[in-house]
Amino acid sequence: MNHDEIIKQKLLAEPLSEDALKLACAIYNTYVTHDDLKMEIKFSTFFKLLNLHPCKNSIIDIQNLLEEINEPLAVRNFEYKGETIRLKFIQFCSYTIKNETIKLELSAKYLYAQKYYMLDSFLKS
């Protein structure tokens, strides 16, 4: 399928909260800067970004925001690398919370979908 033939879709079930949007854009811009889908980011970076006090509750808040941005997108007639799927559910990233960092891996399929399929795209570099 040619990119000109793709019909853009409204993919977000609900708009993201301000903090979730801020977090998603920061993660995306980190990816753009380093050109690597895998990254490890210190909690202190998230605390500064979101103006949170460094404590256990703030880590829980960050995890809740990650869950919010990981709400799956339902993409109809999704074509990726020559394969077409009638309905594909895609998440923003996978993550693991460690002692002082969060290991993240952005989904290449999500980035592709937000670029070519999303009317309501929120990621900007």
Q: Quick: pLDDT tens for 80-106.
A: 998 999 999 999 999 999 999 999 999
**Cβ atoms < 10 Å from Cβ of 24:** 22
Query: For residue 84, what is the domain's CATH number?
Result: 1.10.10.10
Domain range holding 57? 16-116
Q: Is residue 20 part of a domain?
A: yes
pLDDT recorded at residue 15? 86
3-state class of 108 per DSSP? helix
62, 50 Cβ separation under 8 angstroms = yes
- Residue 122's H or E segment, with its range, is none
Q: CB burial class (10 A; 0-12, 13-18, 19+) of residue 99?
A: exposed
Percent helix / strand / coil, the chain, rounded to 5: 40, 25, 30
| Choice between 17 and 6, residue whose per-residue pLDDT is larger | 17
Q: Is residue 9 part of a domain?
A: no
Q: Is residue 55 part of a domain?
A: yes
- The pTM score is 0.88
Helices (H) and strands (E) in the chain, counts: 4, 5
Q: Is residue 103 part of a domain?
A: yes
Backbone angles phi, psi at 33, to 5 degrees: -65, -45
Mean pLDDT estimate for the chain = 91
Identify the CA nearest to 125 among candidates 3, 42, 35, 62.
Answer: 35
Number of separate domains in the chain: 1
pLDDT recorded at residue 7? 80
Q: Is residue 35 part of a domain?
A: yes
| Least confident span in 4-8, 28-32, 93-97, 112-116 | 4-8
Considering Cα of 106, then 107, then 113, then 119, what sign does the dihedral take? negative
pLDDT band with cut points at 50, 70 and 90 for residue 4: low
Model confidence pLDDT, tens digit, residues 36-66: 999 999 999 999 999 999 999 999 999 999 9
Q: Is residue 7 part of a domain?
A: no
